[in-house]
Amino acid sequence: MNTDPNDLEPINPRTAKKLFLDHKKSECTESTVRNHSYRIETFVSWCEEKANIDNLNELSGRDIQQFRLWRSEGDDLKTTTLRNQMSGIRVFLKWAASIEAVPPELYDKVLVPRVERGERSREEKLDPEDANEILEYLSKYQYGSQEHTVMALLWETGLRIGAVHSLDLDDLHVEDEFLQLTHRPESDTTLKNGKSGERPVAISTDLAHLLESYEETIRHDVTDDHGREPLLTTVNGRMARSSIRRIVYKVSSPCFRGEDCPDCTETADRKCPEGVYPHAIRRGSITHFLSKDVPSEIVSDRMDVSRDVLDEHYDKRTEERKLEQRRSYLDNL
C-alpha cells in the first residue's frame, strides 16, 4: 500500500528517536531501552550528518540501503553487529509508521543480514547489556522461575552446562553464599576436568536468595535415579542438559521479551534464530569478568579454564580495551 506523502506528519529524526524511546520506557526495562537507543543512534546521526535528512517523511528505501552499505564498510563491523543494528532500525521505523512519520511499508524495506547458526556459535557471546536486559525482565515478571534461576546461575558463575546439571541441593550453601562443585561419575554427573574441576564457587547475595526462593517455591521435591536430590528439577527428577539448553534458547530470544526478531519463525520444533547457545553465556560471562578488571588468575580458577585456553577462546575483549586496562594499572603504580 502506497501512502500519500501529504498524509505524513513532519518530524526530525532526533525528535522521533526521543518519542520512540519514551514509548519503549512504558513497556520495556531500562536496559532494553538503552539497547534500542544504541542501535538507532548511529542511524539517526547518519540521517542528520551524512544524508541531510531533517524530516523522516523524506526517508526512502534507497536511503536505508545507502546507510546499510555505509555502515558495513567501516569499523570492521561484524555481521552479527550489523544484523542487530538493522533489526533495531526496523523496529524503530515500524513504530514511526504508527505516528505517520514514515510510510507504513517502509520498515519492510530494511534488509537484515542473515547469519548462519554455525558462523554465530563459533565466536558468539552474550553481551552484558543483553544479559542484564534478560535478567531484568525475568526478575520483574518471572522471579524465582526455572528460567530466571537457570539464566542467573549461568551468567553470574560462568559455569559449563554440565556443572550446572551436576548440582545437588546439598551443594547450595545459602548462608555462606557458595556452590560446591563435585565430580560424581558413578552417579552420572561429571565435571569436564574431573576431580581437578572440583571447587567452591562464590555467589552473590542476590543469587543466593534467588536460589533459595527457587528451592522453596518452584523446585520439585524429587530425587534422581541415584537417590540424589538435584538442585534443578523437573517432575521426573534431575533437569536434563537438553532442558537447560532449551531454557537458554528461549530466554535469550528477543521475542521471549516481546521484542521483534528478524526472520523469527519459532514453532514447537524450530528455535528462534536469535536465541544463543549456552556456551555463549559462559563466553560472555568470562569476558565480562575480565572487562571488570578481575585478574585472569581469579577468572581462570573460578571458571575452571587454563590461562592458555582463556586467552585463546574466551577472552573477547578488544585490544583497545586491554590497552586501557593495562594503562589504568600503570597509572596506579
Give residue-wise pLDDT tens across range 127-162: 888 898 899 999 999 999 999 999 999 999 999 999
Residue 64 has pLDDT above 80, yes or no: yes
Residue 298 has a pLDDT of 83
Q: How far is CA 155 from the centre of its chain?
A: 10
Give the pLDDT band (50/70/90) at residue 331.
low
Q: What is the residue extent of each domain of the chain?
A: 5-113, 128-278
Instruction: Say which CATH architecture domain 5-113 belongs to.
Output: Orthogonal Bundle (1.10)
Residue 269 has a pLDDT of 46
Residue 36 has a pLDDT of 87
Residue 273 has a pLDDT of 72
Alpha-carbon torsion, ordered 78, 80, 81, 84, to 10 deg: 160
At position 276, the amino acid (one-letter code) is V
Q: Give SS3 for 233.
A: strand
Output 211 or 124, whichever has higher pLDDT.
Answer: 211
Quickly count: other Cβ atoms within 10 Å of residue 223's Cβ: 15
Instruction: Say which CATH architecture domain 128-278 belongs to.
Output: Orthogonal Bundle (1.10)
Please list the alpha-helical segments (H only) found in the chain: 13-25, 30-49, 61-73, 79-98, 117-123, 128-141, 146-157, 161-166, 205-217, 241-251, 278-291, 296-303, 307-309, 319-331
Contact call for residues 100 and 8 (beta carbons, < 8 A): yes
Listed in sequence order, the residues at least 6 apart from 121 whose beta carbon sits closer than 8 Å to its beta carbon are 277, 279, 280
Lowest mean pLDDT among 122-126, 297-301, 312-316: 312-316
Q: Give SS3 for 171.
A: helix
Give residue-wise pLDDT tens across range 242-279: 999 999 989 998 888 877 666 565 444 456 777 888 88
Quickly count: other Cβ atoms within 10 Å of residue 315's Cβ: 17
Residue 321 has pLDDT above 60, yes or no: no
pTM passes above 0.85: no
Lowest mean pLDDT among 75-89, 231-245, 314-328: 314-328
* Mean of per-residue pLDDT scores for the chain: 84
- Tell me the β-bridge partners of 168: 230
Residue 68 main-chain phi, psi, to 5 deg: -60, -45
Average pLDDT in the 89-102 region? 93
Among 281, 248, 319, which Cα is nearest to 124's? 281
For residues 275 and 297, give the distance between their C-alpha atoms in angstroms, rounded to a whole number: 31
